[in-house]
A and B are shown apart, each in its own frame.
Chain A
């Protein structure tokens, strides 16, 4: 059967059979790099198009519909425009940091792609601390944002960056705690193990109410962590014009923009892996006809379907809710989400110890 795992395996076999191991590994590195960058740009194009269409539908509009059939090439045209635009550096800016910031944001977004499992057995790096790795790297992007805000030498940018710093640092706590809930249940930080533990049912189904709560908190926290509305205080276009990327133009702006969407993809993929079983098909009971039909759907389709569903939910938030104020945002985290997720973690631990989950 043609699956991503088989293709990857046969490519690897061929490489190791043809070249000596060092060269084969180097070629593999190159292939993975190209694929990661390709996925990165593809995700940017697809997600921006999706966002524009979803927002248009919610706002009784049509959305992009001129370039290509149903406007699918609109984002391509926009990217082309951004590439040919002049990337200006303001006179008063700290030149080095200003130009470095978008790359830091982008690189940290790209590195998190490594431990994600895109399909059954299709993964860049099955590191044994996978979830921890993601949580650690994703907090790096705040450095890029702070850098951008500071180096722009613009008061709006600085305010936006400072808001973003406070926001990401505090929301990481509850995001981490809700990730921990699943780690406690599955007993491993390794992504393949977490997925394997959901073979007989996704955690959202077999984990009782505490896992639902963890899931909701996870979605809220990652929405905040990726600076998406209603937590888009770092940008807050009606208050701070564009927040930390006010002074950016051309491709440097595009990198911030792309990084935002890749971050969304990554956190939604993580949500899908932790709570919705990653590439595991939907199963009810054991050995039923329904399960067999579900097994025919390729694992990559399952994974991307779940991820895109979560992305849609996050977009849905953005186009429905007003923005919170900075102190309310922090109140929500420290007074509501953090206590709830701590108590929730205790409950989950109880469930895990007593083996109450299915």
Chain B
């Protein structure tokens, strides 16, 4: 059942580990407080040190790719918000963009701005949840509630405009489903004011905390080369110094018109990944601030046919979700349903690096590493 030969063979790490006879194999998950869902890890331990982590997936596999083969190009988008439920807007966005690419629809400027606004608010909400959950993983329980105080405001904004709080299905091919709610701008301003005041508390409570720094600094190191080789993306890779922000590299919608920085840290440890996300929140705030008062007037949706038929061909589009690069690969045979869909989910690639990162670390470190990878299990299983 266990791996025959090993790809990763770092002598500096294996020297810490004892011989086979003293190993303990322990199942973390599928029901475990720190796996954030139904991830099942089989861990080989030598005392407290982790020798090997082996993910077993599939507990929440719904075969969304197969499911999408029987849904039309309008219908399949809603399923994708159930993959990475914390960045559902971005997933929907990517699918809508891919369909638009195939149909060559130009979406109105208002819809573009709305989409970017929604993406950034979702990113903020997702990072807030991540922050609370990471703090909980390393043992501090209070930050979770502070994070939810802010996240709840974003959820309320979403609820008012999109109708739901988590799985929105707001982006449709050609634009967005409904126009912004009249209260939207007012509430986003209120949120920004509130969040700017409160973000210092995040630093006070967690970032500057000596225990937290000790728990994350130098833990779960992954080099730039390894991060690239493991196909990591998003904040997890940017913590190792990989330039991989799709918003900068392949700008979509209005990302080339707004000012923001791609946050890159080079330390490659848990604390670097933590800092990337913390700084990314500030960048997201600045993007929202730039756009919120400059939403162009006009249609929120381009005219599309009632039945969408993608021309024969292959289409790939990608966006930057809160977790990294999310890609949709559609093979169309010219019908109303996709012939084959592949979702390139960021979590799946990031998870594959977990084994490499945890070798020789302690169990407590493994929990912190999983926290900074920000795994969302439905995103990995699809």
Contacts and interface: CB of A to CB of B under 8 A. Distances in A.
**Chains A, B in direct contact (C-beta < 8 Å):** yes
Interface of A: 55, 58-61, 155-156, 159, 229-230, 232-233, 236-241, 319-328
Contact of A320 (B24, B140, B363): B140
B138 interface: yes
Contact of B145 (A59, A240, A328): A59
Contact of A239 (B145, B146, B205, B364): B364
B363 A237 contact: no
A326 B48 CA distance: 9
B206 to A, nearest CB: 7
Contacts of B212: 322
A263 to B, nearest CB: 20
B364 A320 contact: no
Interface in B197-223: 205-206, 209, 211-212, 214-215
A87 B211 CA distance: 37
Contact of A156 (B26, B135, B137, B140): B26
Contacts of B145: 59-61
Interface string B128-147: 00000001111111101110
Given A238-B33, A238-B139, A322-B206, 8 more contacts: A59-B141, A61-B145, A238-B138, A239-B363, A320-B140, A322-B135, A324-B214, A325-B364
A322 B215 contact: yes
B62 interface: no
B34 interface: yes
A230 B142 contact: no
B26 A155 contact: yes
Contacts of A326: 48, 362, 364
B149 interface: yes
B228 to A, nearest CB: 29
Nearest to A58: B142
Contacts of B205: 320
Interface residues of B: mostly helix, strand, loop or mixed? helix
Given A238-B367, A239-B364, A323 B138 contact: yes
Given A61-B145, A239-B364, A241-B32, A324 B211 contact: yes
A232 B142 contact: no
Contact of A321 (B48, B211, B365): B211
B281 to A, nearest CB: 20
Interface in B18-47: 24, 26, 32-34
Given A155-B24, A320-B205, A232 B139 contact: yes
Contacts of A155: 24, 26
A229 B362 CA distance: 18
Most chain A CB inside 10 Å of its own CB: which residue of B142, B146, B205 = B142
A333 to B, nearest CB: 14
Contacts of A319: 141-142
A112 to B, nearest CB: 27
Contacts of B33: 237-238, 241
A236 B214 contact: no
Most chain A CB inside 10 Å of its own CB: which residue of B135, B136, B139 = B139
A341 to B, nearest CB: 19
